[in-house]
Structure 1
Amino acid sequence: MKTNSFFQKAFVVFSLLLLLNAFLSEVNAQVERVEPPFWWSGMKNSEIEILFYGKDIADYKVSTEEDVVITRVVKTENPNYIFVSIETKNLQPQTLHFNFSKKNRVKFTQAYELKKRKENSAAREGFTSADVMYLLMPDRFANGNPDNDSVEGLVDKLNREAEGGRHGGDIQGIIDHLDYIKDLGATAIWSTPLLEDNDKAYSYHTYAQSDVYQIDPRYGSNDDYKRLAEEMHERNLKLIMDYVTNHWGAEHWMIKDLPTYDWIHQFPGYANSNYRMETQYDPHASAIDKKYCEEGWFVKTMPDLNQSNPLVLNYLIQNAIWWIEFADLDGFRVDTYSYNDKEGISKWTKAIMDEYPNFNIVGEVWLHNQAQISYWQKDSKIGALQDFNSYCPSVMDFTLHDAIGNMFKEKAGWGSGMQKAYGNFVNDFLYPNTNNLLVFLENHDTGRFNEIYKQDLQAYQLGLTLIATTRGIPQLYYGSEIGMRGDKGKGDGDIRRDFPGGWESDEQNAFQASERTELQENFHSFTKKLLNFRKNSKAIHQGNLTHYLPENNVYVYFREFEGEKVMVVLNNNEEKQTLKLARFQENLNGTTTGKEILSGKQLPLNDELTINGKTPMVIQL
C-alpha cells in the first residue's frame, strides 16, 4: 500500500509539473510587442495589418470579441510572429480585444485601441516653396535635458570629447530654441532621425535604427516629439521627419529575430552596396550590378530591407502613417531614396500621398545629373520612358549644390563662375515641378560651405541669396547662419560640430545676439534679413523665373507673380560692375525705381545699375 501511495503522489506531482509547464508556456507565449501599437478610425486605407510578436504565438488561433472583420492572417516560418489584418471602415474609436486560442479555449487576450483621428488630418498641408527648411542634427544642436544624456540599456554613452560620440543634444534643446529658428526666418525644421539607434558607436546620427516606433530615450520620449510638433505649430513652423525606408540597424529587434528570411536582402548574409544608383535606370545595366546597388547593404551595420516582400512594405507604410498621425507631421525627408527597391518605394510613397494628398516628401537622390535626378520626381517624363513613376513630390537639387561648391571662387568663363548657376537652371525643363526641388548650400553629409569658402561672408551672401530667391525650397544647415565651419576631410564629426551655446558649459552662446562675435553677427543679420523678406514674397514662392546669360560674371534674374516683381543681381567679381538696364526691359517693363531689400535703399532704375564687387542685390520693383 505504501508503494502504491508513493507512486500516486509522484504521479500527482508529475501531473502538476506538466500543467505548470503548459501554463508557463502559455504565459511565455503572450504578446511581447504589438505594431503599430494603436491605430485610428476613419483612415482612407481602412485595412490595418497588426503584427503580434511573442514566443510561438503563431501556434494560436486569433479572433476578436467585437464584431470586427479579420480579413487576413499571415504566419511565417518564424513562429514568434503573426500578422493579423482587420477592416476598420465602419468602426468607431474603441478598444478592441484579440483572443488567442488553442483547442477552442482562449488562452490570453490582447487589447488594441482605435483612436479618434484629428479633424482634417487627411488635408494637412506639407512644406512648400513658401518655406525655408532649417536642417539640424539634434545631438549637436542643444542639450535641453542633461538627465537623458546616457540611458541604461543603450550602449553608446555621453562622450562630448569624441567627434563621433553622443554629445547630449535632444528634443528639449530644439524646443528651447524654436523662437531663435523662427526669428531667423526659417519656417520648417528637418531634424535628422530621432528614432532609437542602439549601435555601439556613432549612434548619434540615428540612421541605423533599432526600434522604429520609439524615439531614442537619449533624445526624449514619443510624447516629447509630439510636444515638439505642438510647440512648432503654435509658432507656424512645420516639422519634417527624416525617414529611413532602405535599411534598419543591425541592432533592430526584428533583425535579431527575422520574421522571414527575405525580410532583408541576403546573399546569403551580408554584401555591400556598390552605390551605383545609375543601375536603377540604365537600359544596359547587368542584372548583378543592379542587384548589388538595390539589395546590397549601405554599410555592414545597416541590413537592407526588402520592400518587394509585401509584409515589409506594408510595415513601412503603416509605420510612416503612424508617425504622421501620432506626431502631426508636415513632411518627410526620405534617406537614400534611390537605393530602395524601385517599385517598392514607389508604392510606399503613393500610399502616403493617397492618404495625405497635400503632404510633401523629399527624396534624397544624391546624383550629379539633372536627367537622372528628375527620373525620381513624381510624374517625370524621363521615368515614364521606363513606365516608372516614383510619386515622390520633391527631390534634392544636388547639381546646384555641386556648382555652388566652386562657382563663387571662379572668374567668368564659358562654363565657370556664374555661368554654372545659369547652366543648372537651363536644364529645368527636365523636371515636372521645379518649385518642389530642395535647394541648399550644404547638408549634414557634405562639406560645410563656410569651410570651402574659408568663412568668406561675401561668398555666403551670394550663395544664400541664390538659394533663397531662385525656384524651389531653400534648406539652411544649422550654424551656417553664424559662419560655422567644418572640414569633411576630417570626418563627419567635424561637419557636425556643436552649436555654441547649446550646452550650459559653453563659453559662448551664439543663440544670443549679445554674445556673438562681430563676424557671427554679420552672418546672422544677413541671413535673418533675407529669409524674413522671403517669408512674404509670393513672387519668390511661386513666381515665374526669367534669367539672363551672365555677363562679366554677373547673373541677373527676375521672379514675377500676380504683379509682384523681384530682380536679383549677383556680382561674382571682385570689382564693381555697371549694368546697362536696357537689356532687361522685357522684365523691367519701364520700371524706374525699386527698393533694394538687403541695404534698405531706394534705387533709380533708369539707364544703368552699379553693383559693388562680390555683392548680391534683391530689388523689389
Structure 2
Amino acid sequence: MLNTLKKNYLLLLISFLFFATQAQVQKIEPPYWYAGMKNSSLQIVFYGPNIAENEVTAPTGIPILEVSKTENPNYLFVTIDTKGLLPQEIVFSFSKNKKKQFTQHYLLKGRRANSALRESYSSADVMYLLMPDRFANGNPKNDNDKSVTEKANRTAENGRHGGDIEGIIQHLNYIQELGATTVWCTPLCVDNDPRGSYHGYGQSDVYQIDPRYGTNDDYLRLSNELHKKDMKLVMDYVTNHWGAEHWMIKDLPTYNWIHQFPGYAQTNYRMTTQFDPNASKIDARLCADGWFVQSMPDLNQSHPLVLTYLTQNAIWWIESANLDGFRVDTYSYNDKKSIAKWTKAITDEYPNFNIVGEVWMQDQAQMAYWQKDSKIAAIQNYNSYLPSVMDFTFMDAAAKVFDENEASWNNGLIKLYENFANDFLYPNPNNLLTFVENHDTERFNEIYKKDFKKYAMAMSILATVRGIPQLYYGSEVGMAGDKSKGDGAIRQDFPGGWQTDTNNAFTQTGRTQEQQLFFDFSSKLFQWRKTNEAVHFGKTTHYLPIDNVYVYFRYTNKKTVMVIVNNNLLSKKIKTDRFHENILGFKNGKEILTGTVFNVENEITVAPQTAMIFELEK
C-alpha cells in the first residue's frame, strides 16, 4: 500500500513538473542546433508566459555569453558558446528568486560529413522553378489540416489546390527527363493566411513545413531523393517580411522587431533609393522599411536579435534539410547593411553555397550593384556579398524581341546583344540567374500566343548564353496564362498533377500533340546542355546582329559552340567569313537539335525564326 502511494505520488510529481515546464516553455527556436559550426555563438529563443521572470543557467562547460530580455516578458534570448562542444543534450535550468522552477532539454546534433564544404548550383545547372501547390497532389490526405485556416478549393483561382511535396517527389523523373538539374520551390513553410496562402510568401512559422505540403521529414526526403539523382534543392528564403499570422507577429518580442511608423506604411517599391546619392531620407526609408503589402509585416533586420534569428534560421534549414542553395525573395527591400551581414554569415559558414537574390530592376548597373564585390557598390563602400542576382533585363528583352521581325537601330535582336554588352558591369556575369519568365511575370507562351518557333528561339538562347538558366514549370509543355486576369492565371495547375485530370502532361502517352512538341524540343535541348562545358563556363564572343540575325560563340580550350538566331520571317544565308576569329580551323559544325553536319567555312542557310546550335568540329 505504501509503495503504491509513493508510486502515485511520484507520477503526480512528474506530471506536475512536465506540465509546468510545458506551460513555461511553449516554443524554442531554433528547435535544435548543430555542433561544429564555424560561428560557435548560438542564440536560443525561449518563449512562454512570463518566462523572462526567470534566471537561466547552463551546465558547467557551456558558457552563457548573453541573456537578452525585452519589454515582452514572454521571451528570453539566451546566447551560448558551442565552441568545442560535442553532440549532446544540454539541460538549461530556470530559477526564480533562487528557486529552481523547471529545466529544459536542448539537443545539439552532429553535422553531416563535409557539411561546410557542400557544393551548390552553378552555371552547369538548369533550375526548374515550381509552385508546390500547383504542381502535383501526391497525397490528397493532407489537402486540409485543422491547424491552418484555409482549406483546399481547387475551383478558386487563388485558393489552395492541394499540390504537395509528395507530388514533387513522384515527378522527379519527369524533371530529370526535361534536363533540369536543380529544383527551386516557392516557399514551403507554414503560411496561415486566411486566403491566398498557396504562394507561401506570408509565412507564419519559419521552422515548420506547411502541413498541407507535408512535414519537415518530407522536405528532407525530397532533398535526399534529388541527391540520389545527382540533382539539387534550392529553398526560396524570405528575409524581408513574414505573414501577419506569424506567431511572433501576434506577440511581438519587442516593438522594433518589425518596422513601424508607428503601425503600417507601405513600401514605395523604388529600390533606386537604396543607392541614389540624391534620394531623400523619407523615400529611402519607405522603400526599405515600408511593408510589401499590409498582410506582410516588414522585418527589422537592423535589430541584432532579428538578424541573428534570421541568420540561424537559414543555417538551420541548410543543415536540417541538406540544402544546396537559396533564392532570396525581395532581396533589395531589406536593410542593405544587415542583409549583407546575413549573406556573409551564410557564405562564411558555407564557402561554396550559392545564393541568388531577387533584384527586380530594369537597369544592369543597378542590378550589378547588388552582386558580390561590385565595383559600382564599392563607390559607396558597400558589398552585399550576394553571389548571384536575377537577370531581369534579359527577361525584359526576351519579352519583346521575338515580335520584332524587322530590325531597326533599337529593335530586334540588338536588344539581346546590348544586354550582354553590359556584362562588364557585373563582377561575375556567369553566376547570373537567366530566365524568360517566373511566377510573378507574364507567361512567355502567353506573350507570344504559344508560337513554338518563338519559344524554341528563346530557349535556345537561354540554354547557350552565360549564366544559370531557370525554367518555369509548365512552359515546357506549352502552358500559358494571362497575368491581367490575376496571379492565379500564371500559376495554373500542371496538367496531370491531380488524379481527376484528363490530360496528363507528365507522360508521353498523356500529352497532347502540342504538349509533346514543346516537351521534346525542351528535353533534347537541356539534356544536351548538361554535356557541354563551353556553355557552362566558357567565354563569350558575340557579333553585332545584322538584318536581325544574331551570332555568338561560347568556347573553352577544348570545345566551341556557335549559335545563329534568325529572327526574320524569311530564311537567311549567312556568310561565315565574318566570324573567322572564332571559327578558326573548324570546318564542320554538328547542329545539336537535328544532328545534321554543316560546313561552316563559307555559308550557312538558316530557316525563318530559327535558332541553330553547332558544336564545331575540325
Which aligned pairs between 1:153-552 and structure 2 lie closer than 5 A?
Answer: 153-410=147-404, 411-552=406-547
Amino acid at match of 1:615: T
CA contact (8 A) 1:29 1:57 kept: no
Which of 76, 80, 95 is equivalent to 1:101? 95
How far apart in 1 are the matches of 2:247 and 2:21?
Answer: 21
How far apart in 1 are the matches of 2:344 and 2:18?
Answer: 45
Once the two structures are superposed, what CA deviation does each residue of 1:55-92 show, in whole Å capped at 9, x if it has no partner? Answer: 00000010123421111110111000000011111110
User: What is the aligned partner in structure 2 of residue 582 from structure 1?
Assistant: 577
How big is the shift at 1:590?
Answer: 2.7
How far apart in 1 are the matches of 2:115 and 2:21?
Answer: 39
4+ runs of 1 displaced by more than 6 Å?
Answer: 22-25
SS of the aligned residue for 2:247 comes to coil
CA contact (8 A) 1:66 1:96 kept: no
| Structure 2: unaligned runs, 5 residues or longer | 1-15
Once the two structures are superposed, what CA deviation does each residue of 1:368-409 show, in whole Å capped at 9, x if it has no partner? Answer: 000000000000000001110000000000001001001000
Cα distance, 1:222–1:615 mapped onto 2, change above 3 Å: same
RMSD, aligned α-carbons: 1.2
Once the two structures are superposed, what CA deviation does each residue of 1:2-21 show, in whole Å capped at 9, x if it has no partner? Answer: xxxxxxxxxxxxxxxxxxxx
Once the two structures are superposed, what CA deviation does each residue of 1:162-190 show, in whole Å capped at 9, x if it has no partner? Answer: 11000000000000000110111000000
| Structure 1: unaligned runs, 5 residues or longer | 1-21
CA contact (8 A) 2:142 2:214 kept: yes
SS of the aligned residue for 1:266 comes to coil
How far apart in 1 are the matches of 2:324 and 2:23?
Answer: 39
SS of the aligned residue for 2:38 comes to coil
Amino acid at match of 1:595: K
Cα distance, 1:67–1:560 mapped onto 2, change above 3 Å: same
How big is the shift at 1:24?
Answer: 12
SS of the aligned residue for 2:377 comes to helix
How many percent of aligned residue pairs carry the same amino acid? 62
Amino acid at match of 1:523: F
Number of residues of Structure 1 aligned to a counterpart in Structure 2: 600
User: What is the aligned partner in structure 2 of residue 605 from structure 1?
Assistant: 600
Once the two structures are superposed, what CA deviation does each residue of 1:244-302 show, in whole Å capped at 9, x if it has no partner? Answer: 00000000000000001000000111111110101000000000000100000000000
Cα distance, 1:55–1:596 mapped onto 2, change above 3 Å: same
How big is the shift at 1:467?
Answer: 1.0
How far apart in 2 are the matches of 1:586 and 1:315?
Answer: 54
How far apart in 2 are the matches of 1:546 and 1:431?
Answer: 17
How big is the shift at 1:103?
Answer: 2.0
Amino acid at match of 1:238: K
Once the two structures are superposed, what CA deviation does each residue of 1:194-236 show, in whole Å capped at 9, x if it has no partner? Answer: 0000000000000000000000000000000000000000001
How far apart in 2 are the matches of 1:29 and 1:441?
Answer: 52
Which of 144, 150, 155 is equivalent to 1:150? 144
TM-score, structure 2 normalization = 0.96
How far apart in 1 are the matches of 2:441 and 2:401?
Answer: 16
1:74 maps onto 2:64 in alignment: no
Amino acid at match of 2:335: D
Which of 555, 564, 586 is equivalent to 1:560? 555
SS of the aligned residue for 2:450 comes to coil
How far apart in 2 are the matches of 1:435 and 1:534?
Answer: 15
Once the two structures are superposed, what CA deviation does each residue of 1:129-154 show, in whole Å capped at 9, x if it has no partner? Answer: 00000000000000000001011021
CA contact (8 A) 2:71 2:254 kept: yes
SS of the aligned residue for 1:515 comes to coil
User: What is the aligned partner in structure 2 of residue 619 from structure 1?
Assistant: 614
How big is the shift at 1:517?
Answer: 1.2
User: What is the aligned partner in structure 2 of residue 46 from structure 1?
Assistant: 40
Which of 38, 42, 55 is equivalent to 2:49? 55
User: What is the aligned partner in structure 2 of residue 126 from structure 1?
Assistant: 120
How big is the shift at 1:529?
Answer: 0.6
Once the two structures are superposed, what CA deviation does each residue of 1:517-541 show, in whole Å capped at 9, x if it has no partner? Answer: 1111110011001101110111000
Cα distance, 1:271–1:534 mapped onto 2, change above 3 Å: same
Cα distance, 1:558–1:63 mapped onto 2, change above 3 Å: same
SS of the aligned residue for 1:617 comes to strand
User: What is the aligned partner in structure 2 of residue 13 from structure 1?
Assistant: none
How far apart in 2 are the matches of 1:522 and 1:554?
Answer: 25
How big is the shift at 1:104?
Answer: 1.8
How far apart in 1 are the matches of 2:410 and 2:313?
Answer: 46
CA contact (8 A) 1:29 1:56 kept: no
CA contact (8 A) 2:17 2:102 kept: no
TM-score, structure 1 normalization = 0.96
CA contact (8 A) 2:589 2:599 kept: yes
How far apart in 2 are the matches of 1:24 and 1:434?
Answer: 56
How big is the shift at 1:515?
Answer: 1.5
